[in-house]
Amino acid sequence: MRIVVVEDDERISAFVARGLGAQGHQVSVAMTGADGIVLASEPDVDLVILDLGLPDIDGVDVLSQLRRTRGVPPVLVLTARDAIADKVEVLDRGADDYLTKPFALDELLARVRVLARRSDQPTANRLERAGLVLDLGARRATRDGRVIDLSTREFALLAYLMRNPGQVLSRVQILAAVWEYDFDPLSNVVDVYVRYLRRKIDREDEESLIETVRGAGYRFRA
Ligand code: CA
């Protein structure tokens, strides 16, 4: 894979580049947010690893800017910030995963493998329900023909719910399927994302397509 690492700490970027290079990845390093945006927007990039503490632009703003461009590859955020609120903010801004410094190289490589698998998912797959269409190949969602702008994580959550219509899915199941690693099960990230999705996909005069099953989790209406 071609991976862009946006990190101003040379020690960390060299360590990450060496580790990824040893796995056969082709790595480009940007030391500033501005350079990172340019490199990450090149068409053949498969993954972006983004540090939040950059000298010129805050990493969160770099992320927002990348996410405004369509077709940007998955973004794995590196940060020294560890609060749940920060995690939720970063995921909300469109990061696909999150790693807190200091981290072990093995953990970084494991996250990279997960994101690589995800960006390799089969194409031309389509989920449809009540006028809501999810085109998994084009990563495009529409309801009644209207395009719905979803972050990568919102899209993954909606795809998971739509693949399991009528089934009650617990928060832990959803975290495992959509976040794909041990996210703090006490965090409210699933509820936060369901709220975002409802706001985006539901028709105003109807009950939500995503039902809350009290004490159990969520169910996509069959
Ligand atoms: Ca930094």
Q: How far is the CA of 162 from the centre of ligand 1 (A)?
A: 38
Q: How far is the CA of 22 from the centre of ligand 1 (A)?
A: 23
**141, 131 Cβ separation under 8 angstroms:** no
Residues 138, 65, 53, 4: what is their CA dihedral angle, to the nearest 10 degrees?
Answer: 50
Q: How far is the CA of 5 from the centre of ligand 1 (A)?
A: 11
Q: How far is the CA of 17 from the centre of ligand 1 (A)?
A: 15
**52, 9 Cβ separation under 8 angstroms:** no
Q: How far is the CA of 83 from the centre of ligand 1 (A)?
A: 17
Q: Estimate the crossing angle of helix 59-68 against helix 33-40, to 10 degrees.
A: 30
Task: Enter the tokens of residue 133.
Answer: 């269409």
Residues 60-89 have pLDDT tens digits of 999 988 887 756 688 999 988 777 777 788
Q: How far is the CA of 98 from the centre of ligand 1 (A)?
A: 15
Q: Which pLDDT does position 33 carry in this prediction?
A: 96
Q: How far is the CA of 12 from the centre of ligand 1 (A)?
A: 9
Give the span between the Cα atoms of 60 and 94, in whole angstroms.
10
Q: How confident is the model at residue 121 (pLDDT cuts 50, 70, 90)?
A: very low
Average pLDDT of the segment spanning 33-37:
95
DSSP calls for 43-104: TT--EEEEES--SSS-HHHHHHHHHHSTTPPPEEEEES---HHHHHHHHHTT-SEEEESS--
